[in-house]
């Protein structure tokens, strides 16, 4: 046996399964761009040719949460948007991570008004915070590299990072005709069609 | 003939306050006369476009006698003449006739005024909030509403790492 292993020489690499899985994950992060304001422009700049986020294995921006494992919240989130943000976060499959980009996403920034959420970390978990208004693309790349370190150091193939989970189910899926049903209910409630002034 | 003379001739004997600012006529009418005035302006003075409906809260303003003002900006598309019609309202009677029967554009504009000031429009076809969430409980552009809100933005469930 030992003799055979020796013969394999450099063609085999030894590692732990955990670290191999983390290595694969960290180098193929698929970001979900949740860009609601000006920071989104920097996010676009980061993934375009000059700064080229794809050098770090993270270029596949997907607009379906089912395909993503990294949510980048770039911009301020208002009260009306927060339920959407939470739903999208819950729709993403595990393992998943979240970057909060810019002063607004981290703390609400200058928008301390009645409708702007003062930091998304009050309502969803966040792994990396990027300061700045807006942060430069380099800062986003730095955050991505730091996140890769974090994934390498903490990730396990058995998902023990999620072991404490008590309620496994995500958002309740819509039934086939549910959306149509809700619309019909609304129609009765509001006596739609909307353009029917009573006069 | 300007709208001002026209209106005084067509609807004489009504109480109306005219003011002028930078060559622009403004008139304050009692809430009860609003529909009649607007109808006359539309049909006989060719004010064919309702450009904007908005509100003002005059709370604690020096010299102000009434609390709320609803402002209607009218435009005669052909001649370019403009007129600002406003109505003064006081609590608890914050209701004024809806202009949706005269101008279609009043629909969303009035909904926005309701959203921000809590002024209701009698006869509006769809009297709902326009911008804020349905469950929002206050009217944020009133001057007695705190800039940072009354905690509305904190009433959401918190999703933790363990349960998402
Ligand atoms: S942090 Fe600055 S750049 Fe980013 S969304 Fe807020 S205001 Fe815009």
Say which CATH number the domain at A60 has: 3.40.50.12280
Tell whether A50 and A128 lie within a shared domain.
Answer: yes
Q: Does A189 contact B at CB distance below 8 Å?
A: no
- Cβ-defined contacts of B141-149 (< 8 Å, 24+): B141/B55, B141/B57, B141/B116, B141/B117, B142/B57, B142/B59, B142/B116, B142/B117, B142/B118, B143/B57, B143/B59, B143/B60, B144/B59, B145/A114, B146/A114, B147/A112, B147/A113, B147/A114, B148/A112, B148/A113, B148/A114, B149/A113, B149/A114, B149/A115
Pocket probe mutation, ligand 1, options A46, A72, A74, A75, max atoms within 8 Å of Cβ = A75
Answer for the pair B139, B113: CB distance below 8 angstroms, yes or no. Answer: no
d(C-alpha A6, C-alpha B80), whole Å = 92
| A161 and A178 fall within a common domain | no
Q: For chain A, where are the alpha helices, taking DSSP H only?
A: 2-8, 17-26, 39-47, 82-91, 102-107, 137-154, 178-190
Kindly state whether residue B164 falls inside one of the protein's structural domains: no
Residue A1 domain-assigned (yes or no):
no
Compute CA A67 distance to the chain's CA centroid, rounded to the nearest angstrom: 10
Nearest to B100 among A90, A166, A197 (CB): A197
A91 and A48 part of one domain: yes
Beta bridge partners of B54: B71
Instruction: Specify if A5 maps to a domain.
Output: no
Q: Is the CB of A117 under 6 A from ligand 1?
A: no
CB pair distance less than 8 Å for B159 and A118: no
pLDDT tens profile A50-71: 998 888 888 788 889 999 989 9
User: Using the 8-state DSSP alphabet, how is residue A191 labeled?
Assistant: T
Same domain membership, residue A83 and residue A176: no
Say what the pLDDT of residue A77 is.
92
Across A75-79, A122-126, A175-179, B124-128, least confident range: A175-179
- Give residue A39 CA to ligand 1 midpoint distance, Å: 5
Does ligand 1 lie within 6 Å of residue A135's CB atom? no
A18-50 pLDDT tens trace: 888 888 888 989 999 999 999 999 999 998 889
Of A48, A87, A36, whose CA–CA distance to A66 is shortest? A87
Strand duo B24-29 + B49-57: pairing: unpaired
Taking 80 as the threshold, does the pLDDT of residue A8 lie above it? Answer: no
Say how far apart CA B100 and CA B50 lie, in whole Å.
10
Whether A188 has a pLDDT exceeding 90, the answer reads: no
The model's pLDDT over A137-152, given as tens digits with 9 standing for 90+, comes to: 999 999 999 999 888 8
* In-domain check, residue A152: yes
Please state whether the peptide bond connecting residue A134 to the residue before it is cis, i.e. omega within 30 degrees of 0: yes
How many separate domains does chain B show? 1
Q: Is residue A109 part of a domain?
A: yes
CB proximity B122 to A under 8 Å = no
Judge whether A198 is closer than 8 Å to chain B, CB to CB: yes
- Centre of ligand 1 to C-alpha A123, Å, is 19
Atom index in ligand 1 nearest the CA of residue A38 equals: 8
- Note whether A87 and A174 are same-domain residues: no
Question: Residue A17 — very low, low, confident or very high, per pLDDT cuts 50/70/90?
Answer: confident
Residue A8 lies in a domain: no
Q: Is the CB of A108 under 6 A from ligand 1?
A: no
Nearest CA in chain A to B159: A124
Mean pLDDT of B18-43: 89
Q: What pLDDT does residue A199 have?
A: 36
pLDDT at B1: 62
In a domain, B69, yes or no: yes
Distance CA A87, CA B95 (A): 38
| Cβ density class B64-91: b for 16+ within 10 Å, e for less | eeebbbbbbbbbbeeeebbbbbbbbbee
Q: Tell me, yes or no, whether A103 lies in a domain.
A: yes
∠ CA B102-B103-B107 to the nearest 5 degrees? 115
Q: What percent of chain B has pLDDT over 90?
A: 33
Distance A110 CA to ligand 1 centre (A): 9
Query: By the 8 A CB rule, do B64 and B121 touch?
Result: no
Question: Within this chain, do residues A181 and A88 fall inside the same structural domain, yes or no?
Answer: no
Is the pLDDT higher at B13 or at B116? B116
Inside any domain, residue A79: yes
> Which pLDDT score, from 0 to 100, does residue A99 have?
92
Give the minimum alpha-carbon distance from A188 to chain B in angstroms, rounded to a whole number. Answer: 12
Of residues B64 and A188, which shows the higher confidence score? B64
With a 6 A CB cut-off, is A73 part of the ligand 1 pocket?
Answer: no
Q: Is B43 left (phi over 0), alpha (psi -120 to 50) or beta?
A: alpha
Asked if residue B108 is part of any domain, the answer here is: yes
CA A44 to chain centre: 15
Yes or no, beta carbons of A122 and B100 under 8 Å apart = no
Q: Do A179 and A82 fall into the same domain?
A: no
- Is residue B25 in a domain? yes
Domain with A30 in it: 13-166
CATH number at residue B106: 3.30.460.80
* pLDDT tens per residue across span A106-144: 988 898 888 888 888 888 888 889 999 999 999 999 999
Q: How many domains does chain A have?
A: 2
Residue B87's domain comprises 3-155
Same domain, A101 and A157: yes
- Do A123 and A186 have their domain in common? no
8 Å CB contact between B2 and B40 = no
What mean pLDDT value characterizes chain A? 80
Q: What is the ipTM of this complex?
A: 0.76
The mean pLDDT value for B74-88 works out to: 91
Q: How far is CA B89 from CA B16, B85, B115, B152, in A?
A: 15, 13, 16, 27
More confident site: B25 or B134: B25
Is the pLDDT at A166 greater than 60, yes or no?
A: no
Is pLDDT above 80 for A83?
yes
User: Are A57 and A130 members of one domain?
Assistant: yes
pLDDT averaged over every residue in chain B: 87
Q: What pLDDT band is residue A198 in, cutting at 50, 70 and 90?
A: very low
Of B104, B148, B159, the CB nearest to A86: B159
Residue A134 Cβ < 6 Å to ligand 1: yes
CB contact under 8 A, A125 and B160: yes
Q: Is residue B131 in some structural domain? A: yes
Substitution site in A41, A103, A107, A119 for ligand 1 pocket (most atoms within 8 Å of beta carbon): A103
Residue B136 included in any domain: yes
Chain A contacts of B158, Cβ < 8 Å?
Answer: 122-123
The count of other CB atoms within 10 Å of the CB of residue B33 is 16
A126 neighbourhood in chain B, CB within 8 Å:
none
- Look up residue B134 and give its two tokens: 């349905």
The closest-lying atom of ligand 1 relative to the alpha carbon of residue A42 is 3
pTM for the model stands at 0.76
3-state secondary structure of A161: helix
The answer, yes or no, to whether residue A171 has pLDDT greater than 60, is: no
- A118 and A198 share a domain? no
d(CA A98, CA A72): 6
Asked if residue A146 and residue A183 are part of one domain, the reply reads no
């Amino acid at each position: 046996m030992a003799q055979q292993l020796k013969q394999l020489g450099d063609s085999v690499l030894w590692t732990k399964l955990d670290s191999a899985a983390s290595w694969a994950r960290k180098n193929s992060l698929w970001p979900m761009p949740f860009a609601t304001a000006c920071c989104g422009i920097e996010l676009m700049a980061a993934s375009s040719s000059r700064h080229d986020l794809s050098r770090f294995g993270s270029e596949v921006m997907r607009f379906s949460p089912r395909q993503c494992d990294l949510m980048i919240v770039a911009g301020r989130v208002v009260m009306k948007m927060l339920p959407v943000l939470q739903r999208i976060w819950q729709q993403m499959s595990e393992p998943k991570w979240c970057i909060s980009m810019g002063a607004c996403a981290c703390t609400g920034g200058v928008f301390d008004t009645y409708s702007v959420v003062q930091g998304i970390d009050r309502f969803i978990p966040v792994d990396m915070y990027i300061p700045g208004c807006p942060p430069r693309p380099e800062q986003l790349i730095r955050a991505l590299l730091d996140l890769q370190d974090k994934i390498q150091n903490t990730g396990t193939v058995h998902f023990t990072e999620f072991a404490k989970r008590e309620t496994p189910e995500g958002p309740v899926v819509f039934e086939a005709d549910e959306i149509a049903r809700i619309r019909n209910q609304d129609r009765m409630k509001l006596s739609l069609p909307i353009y029917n002034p009573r006069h | 003939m300007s709208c001002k003379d026209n209106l005084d001739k067509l609807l004489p004997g009504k109480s109306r306050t005219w003011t002028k600012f930078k060559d622009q006529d403004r008139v304050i009418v009692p809430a009860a006369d609003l529909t009649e005035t607007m109808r006359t302006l539309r049909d006989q003075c060719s004010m064919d476009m309702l450009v904007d409906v908005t509100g003002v809260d005059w709370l604690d303003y020096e010299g102000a006698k009434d609390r709320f003002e609803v402002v209607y900006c009218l435009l005669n598309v052909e001649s370019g003449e403009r007129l600002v019609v406003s109505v003064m309202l006081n609590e608890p009677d914050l209701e004024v006739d809806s202009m949706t029967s005269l101008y279609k554009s009043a629909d969303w504009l009035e909904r926005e005024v309701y959203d921000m000031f809590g002024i209701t429009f009698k006869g509006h076809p769809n009297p709902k909030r326009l911008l804020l969430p349905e469950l929002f409980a206050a009217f944020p552009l009133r001057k007695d509403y705190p800039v940072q809100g009354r905690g509305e933005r904190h009433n959401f469930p918190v999703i933790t790492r363990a349960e998402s």
